[in-house]
Amino acid sequence: MTSSHHRPITLTVDIGGQGIKGRTFRDPGAPVSARIRVKTPRPARHGPVLDALVGLIEKLRPFDRVTIGFPGVVVGGVVQSAPNLDGRWKGVPLQERVSERIGAPVRIINDADMQGFGAIEGRGVEMIITFGTGMGAAMFVDGRLFPNLELGHHPFEKGKTYEERLGQAALDTIGKAQWNRRLVRAVSLLQRIFNFDTLYIGGGNARCIKTKLPDNVVIVKNEIALSGGVRLWQPPSS
């Protein structure tokens, strides 16, 4: 049935610390299905997460191909790290495992990289940072991704990393007002380091932003995380 469509249907899945979300699209701006969410199994070891992932994917047929955004470093479809999940993930060939189980082509990339594809215009230096359980970051030059940036684990201030200062645990501890002040300092530091043309801020906790940010900083809706997964299959524009 799916092959009779003119344009293929892409299912994109976003694995988060709290939930696994999925939706099908014909184009980045044209969803086919509703967005479906299941809870991330806890402890989030690779076996139960794979089963939850496959369960969600099966609910979203029909589709022709699948993109998965993963909350850690992914190289060539193989997981290298998963700081906010549990157990041993390094070396898990998740792309191949999912593809075998569902019988469709799968591409898996870092979650912030996927979200970035949903946000960018494709011109100049564009950066995205995402706030959820962890802090994600991705960088693009004229639409080309620099993969697995992992800025969240770099030192920010007071001997702590960006993720330690601005991740979910920090927000829960310090509250929104102080978190917003930290965010302003982080944005200003990132501007000085990367000289981006535009910085996008996404992830579930972007909704906690109540502060004024510079004009080249854009808060994006969480939904773009999923639409970004469609772009991965589109040829780069010339």
Q: Does 229 bind ligand BGC (CB under 6 A)?
A: no
107 close to 94: Cβ distance less than 8 angstroms: no
Nearest of 41, 154, 52 to residue 87 by alpha carbon: 41
Where does residue 137 rank: exposed (0-12), middle (13-18), buried (19+ CB within 10 A)?
buried
Q: Does 72 bind ligand BGC (CB under 6 A)?
A: yes
Q: Which residues, in sequence order, are CB contacts of 2 under 8 Å at separation 6+? A: 8, 9, 62, 63, 64
Q: Which listed range, 6-14, 119-127, 146-154, 212-220, lies at the site for ligand BGC (CB under 6 A)?
A: 146-154
Q: Does 83 bind ligand BGC (CB under 6 A)?
A: yes
Nearer to ligand BGC (CB atom), residue 63 or residue 70: 70
Helix (H) or strand (E) run with residue 236 in it: none
In the beta sheet, which residues pair with residue 199?
A: 127, 217
Which residue in 28, 134, 202, 228 binds ligand BGC (CB under 6 A)? 134
Which residue in 10, 68, 126, 163 binds ligand BGC (CB under 6 A)? 163
What CA–CA distance (Å, rounded) separates 231 from 138? 15
Site for ligand BGC in 95-114 (CB under 6 A): 110-112
Nearer to ligand BGC (CB atom), residue 28 or residue 72: 72
58's tokens: 């099966």
- Nearest approach, Cβ of 81 to ligand BGC (angstroms)? 6
Q: Which listed range, 36-44, 65-73, 92-100, 230-238, lies at the site for ligand BGC (CB under 6 A)?
A: 65-73
Interface residues with ligand BGC (CB under 6 A)? Answer: 71-73, 83-84, 110-112, 130, 132, 134-136, 150, 152-153, 163
